[in-house]
A and B are shown apart, each in its own frame.
Chain A
């Protein structure tokens, strides 16, 4: 039972007061169920509140009304059970890669022995392909490498849920593809329930089990949820050759297009 409702977002609302004291609901009634081990992408136009939803799950910003339950527990604040990979790598520049990952491991596994911790950190760094650059400092690495450390830091915590906030948003397309595969590989082993924010339809279709399309804000909510039926592990070239891929992609773009048109219409009504 809990496997099917591992993560539950129930009528989640995020409202910010405007200067006149009226509450502007950025996200209004967001409902979503995520199964255990599933990778759900959230896609939508920029500014629609995707990141707001993710930050609410992470507990980094308070929820105005409604509730988020992760693994049977309501979210009240941030915690290492929901590891976040931010858009910027957010590494601490005064620590090496190893130190950055170890910081979290030490905090989450205070009772582990030194050797155990060491193993956890090294495993996470190897999993993202940084076996040889473990002791480098962030400034000595490229953006893609830094983001790998960010991913290693998140998975080293053995989280119940992995939250990816446009993790490849600042990378060039080659690096992006590399990192998509890094994450998919890790998830093939670890089966961590994952939510990923993105605005790239290809990426969403290639990586996700389900795609949650958000309507435009304000009052953004789930517009449509699309299941992606590709087998795992996935092979990029194979998938790209299927007709399904293009169909999924077409539907996504169609939805985004419709959202945009609706927004235009609303604007016209308002202006008129």
Chain B
């Protein structure tokens, strides 16, 4: 009995793997449950270990080739640098969160935090000082070493330079002498030409020799001195942490919300007392005007939120939200229209030209069109009722919905609508004649026929279409965001490209992976949905 319960668990897991499309892990589960270990091990080697090593090989090729390709933005980053940049982005996000907390802290807690951070800051400052000295010594060491290595070459260089200068002078004099002789008719012109030519050749050779020495020196200078690199690295790390503590101090003290509010309030109170004891009408008016301004600033401060820097997580969330908005818009149009197309040939004929012409249009064109069209609906986005309403809803309020998000979503919808529409129409129109006969014999009415026969039978194809739509939408979205500066992963990439910091290239490649993995997960999600709705147990490709 226990055996069968175990089997039940096993088959449940296997079913889950099958539905989610991770059948490659099937033998692992079977091995864990001790089913034919020999066979499972073979399968694991074939379908998991070999692919794993293939991926490793790809990473190795990447690591090997990256530094060998110099670009304007530095070397192509290797996987470890990309990983580092991911960690840095994660740290940035964490710190933003801490800063926000600091910004909102009040009363005793704020003071406690302030004390702690001050202490930490002091410790870090000491550390920074120490490390700075280490860097300085390392720099000095490097300079010494360099001087030792460069010294003889430099000497040689200088000596040669002086020598060549003399030689050149001599040659110039020789040429001048020949030219005078030629002018006097004592020598022929050919000898003058030859002399000038020889001079050119000699000068070039001398220059080449000098520059070879120079580049030797440069090479030595550009060589990395390991202790210095390490010292700099640890210094940078601590200095970074110290700077963060400094900002925290600001947010706990001067820039803290309650502190700012108290300040404004006390200012206002001061004006009020001044106003009560104002000597003249003129003074009273002046003070009253100030008081009104102070009042306004208190009001403004009360509603203030922490202005967080955009983090990769925020951008990712926004992109996913946008793609779903667009996707649902597309599905909302594509499914009913597709069903009508499938049911009615005239309707299909009407829509065919529209589908054929608009389907191949590039997302970029749609983006520009929607930017203009949607922009017209939001002449004053700050005070638009719909946007304000959306931004007050729970869960999505942090996403800051703006016209840019809406037209990005519209672009996604416009490009994603076609696969869903065409597939739905195909699914509805290719319904089995037998099933139609059943409906005819039963004399099912239009709605019954639609909901009991047509839609269930078309559902697998509808979902196949939706799956393609979501994939297309996700690809389009990143491009649209990059182009329209609508917050999201696309904008993140674009900003990185424009900023040109040392991490630019690594960040872009990191986003490449983020986009890829999210796209993969979205696709998997659609596969699972498709499997659940398809009555035939639907074969779905990976």
Give chain A's interface residues, CB within 8 Å of chain B: 58-60, 77-80, 82-84, 86, 88, 90, 92-95, 103-104, 107-108, 137, 139, 157
Q: Which residue of B lies closest to A82 (CB)?
A: B441
Can you report 12 residue pairs joining A to B where beta carbons are below 8 Å apart?
A60-B437, A60-B441, A77-B440, A78-B440, A79-B441, A82-B441, A92-B456, A92-B457, A94-B535, A103-B442, A107-B448, A137-B535
With both chains docked as a complex, state the minimum distance between the C-beta of B443 and any C-beta of chain A, in angstroms.
6
Q: Which residues of B contact A79 (CB under 8 A)?
A: 441, 443
How many residue pairs at the A-B interface have CB separations less than 8 Å? 53
Q: Which residue of B lies closest to A89 (CB)?
A: B434
Q: Which residues of A contact B459 (CB under 8 A)?
A: 94
* Alpha-carbon distance A90/B442, docked complex (angstroms): 13
Q: Check if A93 sits within 8 Å of B443, measured CB to CB.
A: no
Within 8 A of A (CB), among B422-449: 432, 434-435, 437-438, 440-444, 448
With A93-B535, A94-B535 known to touch, is A86 a contact of B440 (CB < 8 Å)? no
Q: Check if B536 sits within 8 Å of A90, measured CB to CB.
A: no
With both chains docked as a complex, state the minimum distance between the C-beta of B278 and any C-beta of chain A, in angstroms.
83
Q: Check if A80 sits within 8 Å of B441, measured CB to CB.
A: yes
Q: Check if A107 sits within 8 Å of B443, measured CB to CB.
A: yes
Q: Which residue of B lies closest to A150 (CB)?
A: B438
9 nearest interchain CB pairs? Answer: A94-B535, A90-B434, A93-B535, A94-B456, A78-B440, A107-B442, A78-B441, A104-B442, A84-B441
* Alpha-carbon distance A86/B448, docked complex (angstroms): 21
Q: Check if A108 sits within 8 Å of B535, measured CB to CB.
A: no
The residue in B435, B441, B448, B459 that gathers the most chain A C-beta atoms within 10 A of its C-beta is B441
Q: Check if A139 sits within 8 Å of B537, measured CB to CB.
A: yes
Q: Which residues of A contact B453 (CB under 8 A)?
A: 92
Q: Check if B437 sits within 8 Å of A90, measured CB to CB.
A: yes
With A92-B456, A107-B448, A139-B535 known to touch, is A80 a contact of B443 (CB < 8 Å)? yes
Q: Determine which of B435, B444, B448 lies in contact with A90 in the assembled complex, contact meaning CB atoms within 8 Å.
A: B435
Q: Determine which of A83, A86, A139 lies in contact with B536 in the assembled complex, contact meaning CB atoms within 8 Å.
A: A139
With both chains docked as a complex, state the minimum distance between the C-beta of A104 and any C-beta of chain B, in angstroms.
5
Interface of chain B: mostly helix, strand, loop or mixed: helix
Q: Check if A107 sits within 8 Å of B434, measured CB to CB.
A: no
Q: Check if B438 sits within 8 Å of A90, measured CB to CB.
A: yes
* Alpha-carbon distance A78/B437, docked complex (angstroms): 9
Q: Check if A58 sits within 8 Å of B535, measured CB to CB.
A: no
* Alpha-carbon distance A119/B448, docked complex (angstroms): 22
**B452: interface (CB < 8 Å):** yes
Q: Which residue of A lies closest to B453 (CB)?
A: A92
Q: Check if B434 sits within 8 Å of A80, measured CB to CB.
A: no
* Alpha-carbon distance A59/B175, docked complex (angstroms): 116
How would residues 355 to 372 of chain B score, 1 for a CB under 8 Å from any chain A CB and 0 otherwise?
A: 000000000000000000
Q: Which residue of A lies closest to B432 (CB)?
A: A90
Q: Which residues of B contact A77 (CB under 8 A)?
A: 440
Q: How many residues of B contact A (CB 8 A)?
A: 19
Q: Check if B437 sits within 8 Å of A107, measured CB to CB.
A: no
With both chains docked as a complex, state the minimum distance between the C-beta of A229 and any C-beta of chain B, in angstroms.
33
Q: Determine which of B437, B444, B456 lies in contact with A86 in the assembled complex, contact meaning CB atoms within 8 Å.
A: B437
* Alpha-carbon distance A60/B452, docked complex (angstroms): 20
How would residues 482 to 501 of chain B score, 1 for a CB under 8 Å from any chain A CB and 0 otherwise?
A: 00000000000000000000
With A86-B437, A139-B535, A139-B536 known to touch, is A94 a contact of B457 (CB < 8 Å)? yes
Q: A60-B437, A90-B435, A94-B456 are in contact. List 17 more A-B contacts (CB 8 A).
A: A77-B440, A78-B441, A80-B441, A82-B441, A88-B434, A90-B432, A90-B434, A90-B437, A92-B435, A94-B457, A94-B535, A95-B456, A103-B452, A104-B442, A107-B442, A139-B535, A139-B536
Q: Check if B536 sits within 8 Å of A93, measured CB to CB.
A: yes
Q: Check if B442 sits within 8 Å of A108, measured CB to CB.
A: yes
Q: Which residues of A contact B437 (CB under 8 A)?
A: 60, 78, 84, 86, 90
Q: Check if A86 sits within 8 Å of B443, measured CB to CB.
A: no
Q: Which residue of B lies closest to A87 (CB)?
A: B434
* Alpha-carbon distance A93/B534, docked complex (angstroms): 9
With A139-B536, A139-B537 known to touch, is A92 a contact of B441 (CB < 8 Å)? no
With both chains docked as a complex, state the minimum distance between the C-beta of A186 and any C-beta of chain B, in angstroms.
18
* Alpha-carbon distance A104/B535, docked complex (angstroms): 20
* Alpha-carbon distance A78/B452, docked complex (angstroms): 18
With both chains docked as a complex, state the minimum distance between the C-beta of A76 and any C-beta of chain B, in angstroms.
12
With both chains docked as a complex, state the minimum distance between the C-beta of B454 and any C-beta of chain A, in angstroms.
11
With both chains docked as a complex, state the minimum distance between the C-beta of A132 and any C-beta of chain B, in angstroms.
21
Q: Which residues of B contact A90 (CB under 8 A)?
A: 432, 434-435, 437-438
With both chains docked as a complex, state the minimum distance between the C-beta of B246 and any C-beta of chain A, in angstroms.
64
* Alpha-carbon distance A103/B452, docked complex (angstroms): 8
Q: Which residues of B contact A108 (CB under 8 A)?
A: 442
Within 8 A of A (CB), among B514-542: 535-537
Q: Which residues of A contact B536 (CB under 8 A)?
A: 93, 139
Q: Which residue of A lies closest to B533 (CB)?
A: A94
* Alpha-carbon distance A139/B536, docked complex (angstroms): 7
Q: Which residues of B contact A93 (CB under 8 A)?
A: 535-536
Q: Which residue of A lies closest to B536 (CB)?
A: A93
Q: Which residues of B contact A157 (CB under 8 A)?
A: 442
* Alpha-carbon distance A92/B452, docked complex (angstroms): 9
Q: Determine which of B432, B442, B457, B537 lies in contact with A80 in the assembled complex, contact meaning CB atoms within 8 Å.
A: B442
* Alpha-carbon distance A60/B441, docked complex (angstroms): 8
* Alpha-carbon distance A108/B448, docked complex (angstroms): 13
* Alpha-carbon distance A84/B437, docked complex (angstroms): 9
Q: Which residues of B contact A104 (CB under 8 A)?
A: 442
Q: Which residue of B lies closest to A163 (CB)?
A: B441
* Alpha-carbon distance A103/B440, docked complex (angstroms): 13
Q: Which residues of B contact A59 (CB under 8 A)?
A: 440
With both chains docked as a complex, state the minimum distance between the C-beta of B524 and any C-beta of chain A, in angstroms.
23
Q: Which residues of A contact B457 (CB under 8 A)?
A: 92, 94
* Alpha-carbon distance A80/B440, docked complex (angstroms): 9
Q: Check if B444 sits within 8 Å of A107, measured CB to CB.
A: yes
Q: Which residues of B contact A139 (CB under 8 A)?
A: 535-537
With both chains docked as a complex, state the minimum distance between the C-beta of B445 and any C-beta of chain A, in angstroms.
8
Q: Check if A92 sits within 8 Å of B438, measured CB to CB.
A: yes
* Alpha-carbon distance A155/B350, docked complex (angstroms): 43
Q: Check if B535 sits within 8 Å of A78, measured CB to CB.
A: no
How would residues 39 to 62 of chain B score, 1 for a CB under 8 Å from any chain A CB and 0 otherwise?
A: 000000000000000000000000
Q: Which residue of A lies closest to B534 (CB)?
A: A94
Q: Which residues of B contact A82 (CB under 8 A)?
A: 441
Within 8 A of A (CB), among B139-181: none
